[in-house]
């Protein structure tokens, strides 16, 4: 009798293990496959482009691996509850930093207001800012010299991934996104002198100087420098050179073979499966802007959203 009971128990337990394994194995295999692709992608990118920064390598690799992860989990997306979708979208939204914009455009660098320099330095160096919002207003606000300086400093000394351009002041009409490196390249092509001056100033400070100190020194020196024989203020008053409009920015990017990423979706503030599918599989760039009647509402990190949805899906 005991033998029969033990035999039945073993058969039942074995059947349970098989059922659990059948459910878990595909997810485990999928997970290991994504990890393998992630690792191989890192090795490939590092060997092919060894000079790339770690943040850039990670972004490239994540964009390679994320679509596979979503393809393997997509059939289970319908099981994620509406509240989970809202949480996923909220947690994946990038908080844009507008403090730097006010600091870098509100006053002249050489005004003697040290806190302005501190704001610029902290926003760039502290490593917490992912996207900086730049409001071009009506094309009469930003100096081309300062926009280049911001792009160069962000590219060299920060983890800022993108600039989000908006216009028309408080209306914040979305214009598009680009990386600091792309903006730097475009303005340098239009004004080669800017790149030369920056390289000269950047090379004046020993490599052992702390990043915050280097940024402050470069900003002070830049403000006191001349451009084509004119002070920064005088240069900024030159027509078609000093002030940056949306049209002028587009022309600079086009001449450099680049353009703003205008990936965006008009939404009403409610998350649903259709919206998330559109964000995840309808675009290729890392970020998608959510707009309300053309006004920038938020920016979503597509990879972060992929991870959040995957987590919610596996929990369901």
Q: Give bridge partners of residue 166 from the DSSP assignment.
A: 135, 174
Q: What is the reported pLDDT for 179? A: 95
Which residues, 6 or more positions from 245, have their beta carbon under 8 angstroms from its beta carbon?
136, 138, 139, 140
Flag the least confident range among 133-142, 237-246, 251-260.
237-246
* C-alpha span between 119 and 198 (Å, rounded): 20
Q: Is the pLDDT of residue 109 over 50?
A: no
Average pLDDT over residues 31-51: 70
Q: Is the pLDDT of residue 287 over 90?
A: yes
Nearest to 214 by CA among 194, 227, 198: 198
Q: What is the mean pLDDT of the chain?
A: 76
Give the pLDDT band of residue 20 (cuts 50, 70, 90): very low
Tens of pLDDT along 66-89?
665 555 554 444 444 444 565 567
Q: Are β-strands 131-135 and 96-97 bridged in parallel, bridged antiparallel, or unpaired?
A: parallel
Q: Is the pLDDT of residue 273 over 60?
A: yes
Q: Give the whole-number percent of the chain exceeding pLDDT 70.
A: 61
Q: Give bridge partners of residue 289 from the DSSP assignment.
A: 264, 299
Q: Is the pLDDT of residue 292 over 70?
A: yes
Render the burial of 170-193: b for 16+ CB within 10 Å, e for the rest: eebbbbbbbbbbbbbbbbbbbbee
Tell me if the pTM is above 0.85.
no
Q: What is the reported pLDDT for 132? A: 86
Q: What is the reported pLDDT for 162? A: 92
Tens of pLDDT along 157-191?
888 899 999 998 889 999 999 999 999 999 999 99
Q: Give bridge partners of residue 97 from the DSSP assignment.
A: 132
Tens of pLDDT along 115-131?
556 666 766 666 677 88
Q: Which residue has the higher pLDDT, 256 or 142?
A: 256
Q: Give the whole-number percent of the chain exceeding pLDDT 90.
A: 25
Q: Which residue has the higher pLDDT, 68 or 237?
A: 237
Q: What is the reported pLDDT for 75? A: 46
Average pLDDT over residues 96-108: 53
Q: Give bridge partners of residue 261 from the DSSP assignment.
A: 177
206 CA to centre of own chain: 29
Tens of pLDDT along 205-219?
776 567 777 888 888
* C-alpha span between 295 and 7 (Å, rounded): 69
User: Could you identify the residue written with the tokens 């090795």?
Assistant: 43
Give the pLDDT band of residue 60 (cuts 50, 70, 90): low
């Amino acid at each position: 009798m005991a033998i029969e009971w033990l035999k039945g128990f073993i058969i039942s337990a074995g059947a349970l293990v098989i059922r659990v394994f059948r459910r878990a194995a595909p997810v485990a295999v999928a997970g290991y496959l994504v990890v393998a692709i992630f690792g191989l992608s890192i090795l490939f990118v590092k060997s092919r482009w060894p000079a790339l920064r770690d943040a850039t390598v990670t972004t490239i690799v994540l964009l390679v691996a994320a679509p596979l992860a979503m393809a393997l989990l997509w059939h289970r997306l319908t099981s994620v509850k509406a509240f989970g979708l809202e949480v996923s979208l909220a947690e994946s939204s990038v908080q844009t930093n507008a403090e730097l914009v006010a600091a870098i455009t509100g006053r002249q660098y050489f005004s003697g207001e040290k806190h302005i320099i501190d704001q610029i330095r902290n926003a760039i160096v502290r490593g917490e800012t992912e996207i900086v919002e730049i409001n071009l207003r009506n094309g009469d606000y930003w100096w081309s010299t300062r926009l280049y300086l911001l792009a160069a400093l962000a590219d060299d000394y920060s983890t800022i991934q993108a600039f989000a351009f908006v216009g028309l002041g408080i209306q914040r009409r979305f214009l598009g996104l680009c990386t600091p490196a792309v903006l730097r390249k475009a303005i340098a092509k239009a004004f080669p002198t800017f790149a030369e001056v920056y390289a000269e100033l950047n090379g004046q400070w020993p490599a052992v100087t702390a990043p915050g100190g280097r940024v402050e020194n470069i900003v002070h020196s830049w403000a006191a420098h001349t451009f084509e024989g004119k002070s920064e203020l005088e240069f900024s008053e030159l027509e078609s050179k000093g002030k940056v409009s949306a049209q002028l920015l587009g022309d600079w990017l086009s001449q450099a073979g680049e353009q703003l990423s205008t990936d965006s979706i008009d939404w009403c503030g409610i998350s649903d499966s259709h919206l998330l599918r559109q964000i995840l599989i309808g675009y290729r760039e890392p970020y998608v802007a959510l707009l309300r009647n053309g006004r920038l509402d938020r920016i979503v990190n597509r990879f972060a959203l992929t991870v959040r949805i995957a987590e919610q899906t596996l929990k369901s």
